[in-house]
């Protein structure tokens, strides 16, 4: 297929694009490379890859490319509650308006697979799994915009939405601000962390398994279309404290303690059922333990110390 990936040089896209190329697809990436990293250099030799430095909100650019595509993955995003709160206009135009634009310009025979977030569930009910039928009650601007964009995609009649758990794992466009990535980095480098809201639970999923979910949805589109799917590790609905206990198995001298020092702007505290997509035939490959082990190795390479004296 011919596939457009907006934000294809991002944390998820830079893992996904090489897999799409390996599967034989033609891929066009539109990305503004706003973080000044070099995530797709290793696949530039592929004849079936086109990279366009541009803005996913550019109607002329996106429209010109989209008309020749079989599928589109709108990954371009200002990701996370803090970033969206800092730039609400950018958040609105990227997270929602750009997705509406793609839906409006696409045809019914073009497949749209869109990543949303299970932070749309907001504050869950204790002991009760969030399913795709659970009411969406997003708290942050990020969550609200993602929920609104999901409705646009599903109402189009030719889309699938994937409600992603909190992603983790290494990526060519690495992020250290994601929970597992952040905590593991602190364990490796600082050997300690002070937790707030340590009992809050959430679900997790590896970047490679996000890519696998997109590939699976593309290959089983007719079976899965017009539905949302939770995508996460069914054995990894963990609190922050439980996550630290898992990390300590790989970094034995990691010390963690709880204190009332902050709060989650998304108020994410829920457990999630991934049964629906598992019934459709999708299964993740990378365990939480395997991802932590990978990150411990990655942090021998990556150091966030450009402003440190030591």
All domains in the chain, ordered by first residue: 2-169+204-231 (3.40.50.720), 179-201+235-272+286-298 (3.90.25.10)
Paired tokens of 152: 């646009």
- pLDDT-derived band at 310 (thresholds 50, 70, 90) equals low
Check residue 262 and give its pLDDT. 77
Check residue 73 and give its pLDDT. 98
Paired tokens of 106: 């696409």
Check residue 272 and give its pLDDT. 96
Check residue 125 and give its pLDDT. 82
Check residue 309 and give its pLDDT. 64
Q: Which strand ranges, in their side-by-side order, compose the sheet holding 49-53?
A: 49-53, 26-31, 2-6, 71-74, 111-117, 159-164, 228-231
* pLDDT tens, position by position, 66-91: 999 999 999 999 999 999 999 999 99
Check residue 261 and give its pLDDT. 80
* pLDDT tens, position by position, 7-19: 999 999 999 999 9
* pLDDT tens, position by position, 252-262: 999 999 998 87
pLDDT average, residue stretch 217-244: 97
Check residue 268 and give its pLDDT. 79
Per the rule left: phi > 0, alpha: psi between -120 and 50, beta: everything else, 267 is left
| CA–CA separation, 149 and 9 (whole Å) | 21
Going from the C-alpha of 182 to that of each of 240, 243, 300, the distances in angstroms are: 11, 11, 14
């Amino acid at each position: 297929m011919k596939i457009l990936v907006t934000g294809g040089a991002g944390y998820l896209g830079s893992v996904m694009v090489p897999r799409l190329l390996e599967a034989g697809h033609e891929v066009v990436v539109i990305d503004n490379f706003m973080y000044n990293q070099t995530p797709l250099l290793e696949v530039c030799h592929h004849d079936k890859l086109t990279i366009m430095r541009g803005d996913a909100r550019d109607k002329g650019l996106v429209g010109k490319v989209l008309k020749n595509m079989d599928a589109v993955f709108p990954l371009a995003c200002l990701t996370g509650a803090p970033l969206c709160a800092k730039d609400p206009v950018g958040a609105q135009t990227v997270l929602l308006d750009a997705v509406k634009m793609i839906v409006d310009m696409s045809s019914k025979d073009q497949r749209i697979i869109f990543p949303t977030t299970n932070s749309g569930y907001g504050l869950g009910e204790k002991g009760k799994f969030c399913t795709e039928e659970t009411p969406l009650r997003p708290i942050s601007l990020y969550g609200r915009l993602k929920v609104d964009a999901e409705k646009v995609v599903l109402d189009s009649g030719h889309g699938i939405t994937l409600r992603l758990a909190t992603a983790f794992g290494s990526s060519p466009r690495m992020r250290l601000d994601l929970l597992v990535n952040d905590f593991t980095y602190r364990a490796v480098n600082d050997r300690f962390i002070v937790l707030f809201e340590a009992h809050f639970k959430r679900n997790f999923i590896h970047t490679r398994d996000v890519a696998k979910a997109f590939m699976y949805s593309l290959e089983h589109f007719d079976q899965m279309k017009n539905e949302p799917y939770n995508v996460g590790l069914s054995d990894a609905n963990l609190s922050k404290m439980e996550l630290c206990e898992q990390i300590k198995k790989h970094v034995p001298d990691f010390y963690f303690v709880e204190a009332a020092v902050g709060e989650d702007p998304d108020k994410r505290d829920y457990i999630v059922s991934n049964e629906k997509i598992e019934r459709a035939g999708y299964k993740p490959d990378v365990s939480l333990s395997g991802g932590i082990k990978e990150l411990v190795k990655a942090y021998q390479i990556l150091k966030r110390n450009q402003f440190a004296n030591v």
